[in-house]
Structure 1
Amino acid sequence: MVAEADLMRPQSTPAFDVQCFPNGTNICEIEDAVSTRPPSFDRVRASPLASALLFSSQEDIKAADGISNAARDSAVIQFVPSIRSGSFANIGPRRYMEDEHIRIDDLSSHMGSLYTFPEPSAFYGVFDGHGGPEAAAYIQKNVMRFFFEDVSFPQTSEVDNVFLQEAENSLRKSFLLADVALADDCSVSNSSGTTALTALIFGRLLMVANAGDCRAVLCRKGEAIDMSQDHRPIYPLEQRRVEELGGHVDDGYLNGVLSVSRALGDWDMKLPRGSPSPLIAEPEFHQVLLTEDDEFLIIGCDGIWDVMTSQQAVSLARRSLRRHYDPERCARDLVMEALRLNTCDNLTVIVVCFSSNTIDHREPSPPCQRKLRCCSLSAEALCSLRNLLEGSASN
């Protein structure tokens, strides 16, 4: 099955508003703190019997002053995202377009009656190719088969711990199957590869899987929260893994060649098949339970993040959405700003909004104040005014 997707052009597929009520059980929310980057969610397993892989910020676990925990929990549970998205892509200053992306606002309708997912359900992905466009184009074309059909993606109407674990296992398998498929397809050069970031929404659950340097950023009440970690060879954890597997980092590049440490394809760097390689296709996962404080998600290739921080992108997108609440125009605004900042790469952005609110989001204008006019009086006029006032007083 070939997905409906945007292919290297500003036009977009239709977006659908979905309003359904998911059920969730045994889900815990835990604070995660990061000091040097915008807040980021990561995975922690408390025990084999307490493996709810959902994380949230301090606002989710601290009751507001004067509000009971029961009232707060009830408001959180009742929240259901109403999904609208838009996307925009631009070749930028490059000679060739190597980005691909896909966005599906209603996954259940797209997959048909044979699939059962918690509602609402949505699927998004960005694929940033290198060494030619073949790998990214191949993954985009076959992404629905890799991610839902070949791996028997778990089907249920509820989000619980079992579903979370099965979904993560399925996504991991999908990335690895796609990686092997690139090696087997003769239409894809062994020197062609692609990064991959996917975002799935099931009810209130947002699950991001990433291999490479695309990035997903959540806006929570104006604050940027990283939902993925850029896989660059210079980052300490990635550099240590690379070196333990026999690779090296030269001037920020893996083996002096590649600027990312995780990617699909690039089989000229992974051969012979089955042998340990410093370049891997294994994704990292980040999950969060969405609340009414979560406004939108930005998913972008590194052409955006080379010239903007996560917070800068969120602030710009928030201003844009307040003007028109159009995620398509918002995605275009982000791309245009990256071009203004002289990015050197292709550009692809998806903006996913979680609210159906279409009111005017502009900041209220300050109240108008009446200006007092000053005038001067001549000595003669002052004398006449004094006589008039004295006459009035004597009467």
Structure 2
Amino acid sequence: MAVGTEVAHPVNILDGVSKVPVAVSSKERGAAGDNTVEVAAETEANMVAAITTSCNVTEAGLGGSLSSISEGCTDETQPVTSPSTSVEKVDEKNDEEPVNVPDYVPEYRSGGCAERGIRRSMEDAHLCVDDLEESLGSPGAFYGVFDGHDGEAAAGYVKEHLLPYILGDASFPTAVEEAVKNAYLELDKKFSEACRLDDSLSSGTTVLTALVQGRNLLVANAGDCRAVLCRKGVAVPMSRDHDPSSAWEKSRIESVGGYVVDGYVNGQVTVARAIGDWHMQGLKEEGGQGPLSAMPEIQSMVLSEEDEFLLMGCDGLWDVFTNEGAISFARKQLQRHNDPEQCSRELVVEALRRNSQDNVTVIVICFRADAPPPLVVLERRTTIRNFCLKKMLSVQKDIDIAQASASERRCVV
């Protein structure tokens, strides 16, 4: 249940060429790719010519260290770089009138898969609703992953009732974020009442949901399930794990009289937020104010053409996958068959192959009809010429002597 840390990789510079992977279509590749290399090559040639004219530069230092120039003739060198050339934006000017392009609206396609794994019972549940237009009056969808513990009742209860609670809240649809928070808390309260009437229901569940309205994506999370968006091949976190040992959750727990021991809230449960668990003493208070809170964290964004799919999974997936690793794996599968349900199944199978010790539940939601485009490496060339300090001083000395000799000859004449 540890939080996955994702670090963007810096651009590597080798032999004067920086390579950056970018998802582009074949049309973009043909229109701009060759021009990039030609412009960069011309820039490099002009710089080399100018440098060579000034002094006798050796080529032996190419590809050397980028540290400061030292007193002696060593391998430590100082780079001189040319401006990089970018093809990310191409301005085209013409006299034709602009064509009115309709606003982008994503196409929702999804698939889910859940497996018990090595556990004795299956306590997870998930929900995929690709078409909410009848309820919303406009294109929309709803998805949820519910990771139960101490039984399956809480996960099943939330799966059945959460969406109706959101759509029926007085704040919906004018204040969607408020409606979602209200629904989580109200459902938690109703489940406590159900458990008082029937002790066999006593259990808890983490809750991760994604509500899409047109281009608007709202992800709500209470627990350690996780949602990650794929944007042109890059993993964009849409939730964070509610680990009791994390600084922000530990502070919240302690502020309401709770405590964390060895990663357990009040020594009883390993997640800091969940719906249910009313049978555990001293953990829950109505309104999400107790050490174990049902209040979700919200992340929202406006989808664009660059957003390819959303990956949602319980901790059984993220125990053996990083954000980047899961997105890369899923993207390759979608490029092969473009089937989100098959992709979710392949992620589950791979997680179990990697010895995940928990139930594994995955949902893949695609926002486009076609498969993700291939990633093409665009080369952005920079010129790096290394100078030996002693050689430069020697060249400067020869120039000074030559200038002095010419001056003396003019005086004699």
Q: If the TM-score is normalised by the length of the shorter chain, which range does it land in? A: 0.5 to 0.7
The residue that corresponds to 1:140 in the other structure is 159
Q: Provide the rounded CA distance (Å) in 2 between the counterparts of 1:340 and 1:357.
A: 29
- Paired residue type of 1:283: P
Distance 1:245 1:65, change over 3 A: same
Matched residue SS, 1:78: coil
Q: Provide the rounded CA distance (Å) in 1 between the counterparts of 2:113 and 2:186.
A: 28
Distance 1:143 1:275, change over 3 A: closer
- Give the gaps of 5 or more residues in structure 1: 1-34, 40-58, 69-73, 156-162, 365-395
Q: Provide the rounded CA distance (Å) in 1 between the counterparts of 2:179 and 2:286.
A: 22
Per the TM alignment, residue 294 of structure 1 is displaced from its structure 2 partner at its CA by 0.7
1:183 aligns with 2:201: no
Matched residue SS, 2:270: coil
Q: Provide the rounded CA distance (Å) in 2 between the counterparts of 1:211 and 1:126.
A: 11
The residue that corresponds to 1:37 in the other structure is 6
The residue that corresponds to 1:94 in the other structure is 119
Match of 2:336 among 323, 345, 360: 323
Equivalence map 1:195-234=2 (5 Å): 195-234=206-245
The residue that corresponds to 1:350 in the other structure is 363
String of CA shifts for 1:138-171, please: whole Å, max 9, x gaps: 111222322222x14624xxxxxxx4xx000100
Per the TM alignment, residue 189 of structure 1 is displaced from its structure 2 partner at its CA by 4.8
String of CA shifts for 1:6-29, please: whole Å, max 9, x gaps: xxxxxxxxxxxxxxxxxxxxxxxx
Alignment coverage as a number of residue pairs: 287
String of CA shifts for 1:153-199, please: whole Å, max 9, x gaps: 624xxxxxxx4xx0001000000001001100023657511110110
String of CA shifts for 1:220-263, please: whole Å, max 9, x gaps: 11111110011010111001111111111111111122111000
- Paired residue type of 1:309: T
Matched residue SS, 1:322: helix
Matched residue SS, 2:295: coil
Aligned 8 A contact 1:134 1:188 in 2? no
Aligned 8 A contact 1:38 1:311 in 2? no
Aligned 8 A contact 2:158 2:187 in 1? yes
Distance 1:38 1:301, change over 3 A: farther
Equivalence map 1:49-60=2 (5 Å): none
Distance 1:99 1:188, change over 3 A: farther
Match of 2:271 among 260, 263, 266: 260
Distance 1:248 1:100, change over 3 A: same
Q: Provide the rounded CA distance (Å) in 2 between the counterparts of 1:143 and 1:208.
A: 14
Aligned 8 A contact 1:175 1:283 in 2? yes
String of CA shifts for 1:266-312, please: whole Å, max 9, x gaps: 11243565794111111100011111111100011111011111111
Aligned 8 A contact 1:38 1:310 in 2? no
Aligned 8 A contact 2:210 2:219 in 1? yes
Equivalence map 1:384-395=2 (5 Å): none
CA RMSD of aligned residues (A): 2.8
Aligned 8 A contact 2:143 2:211 in 1? yes
Taking only the aligned residue pairs, the percentage that are identical comes to: 47
User: What is the TM-score of this pair, normalised by structure 2?
Assistant: 0.64
Matched residue SS, 1:141: helix
Q: Provide the rounded CA distance (Å) in 2 between the counterparts of 1:335 and 1:82.
A: 24
- Paired residue type of 1:126: V
Matched residue SS, 2:107: coil
User: What is the TM-score of this pair, normalised by structure 1?
Assistant: 0.67
Per the TM alignment, residue 106 of structure 1 is displaced from its structure 2 partner at its CA by 0.5
Distance 1:329 1:273, change over 3 A: closer
Aligned 8 A contact 2:185 2:288 in 1? no
Match of 2:353 among 337, 340, 350: 340
Aligned 8 A contact 2:125 2:156 in 1? yes
Q: Provide the rounded CA distance (Å) in 2 between the counterparts of 1:76 and 1:172.
A: 36
Distance 1:64 1:274, change over 3 A: closer
- Paired residue type of 1:144: L
Q: State the structure with bigger RCO (CA 8 A, min sep 6), 1 or 2.
A: 2
Q: Provide the rounded CA distance (Å) in 2 between the counterparts of 1:260 and 1:184.
A: 22
Equivalence map 1:242-321=2 (5 Å): 242-267=253-278, 268-269=280-281, 270=283, 276-321=289-334
Distance 1:357 1:237, change over 3 A: same
- Paired residue type of 1:177: E
- Paired residue type of 2:221: N
- Paired residue type of 1:202: Q
Q: Provide the rounded CA distance (Å) in 2 between the counterparts of 1:67 and 1:77.
A: 21
The residue that corresponds to 2:172 in the other structure is 154
- Paired residue type of 1:179: D
Q: Provide the rounded CA distance (Å) in 2 between the counterparts of 1:347 and 1:88.
A: 8
With 75-84 and 226-235 compared, the bigger mean Cα shift is at 75-84
Aligned 8 A contact 1:38 1:226 in 2? no
Q: Provide the rounded CA distance (Å) in 2 between the counterparts of 1:229 and 1:75.
A: 39
Matched residue SS, 2:308: strand
- Paired residue type of 2:291: P
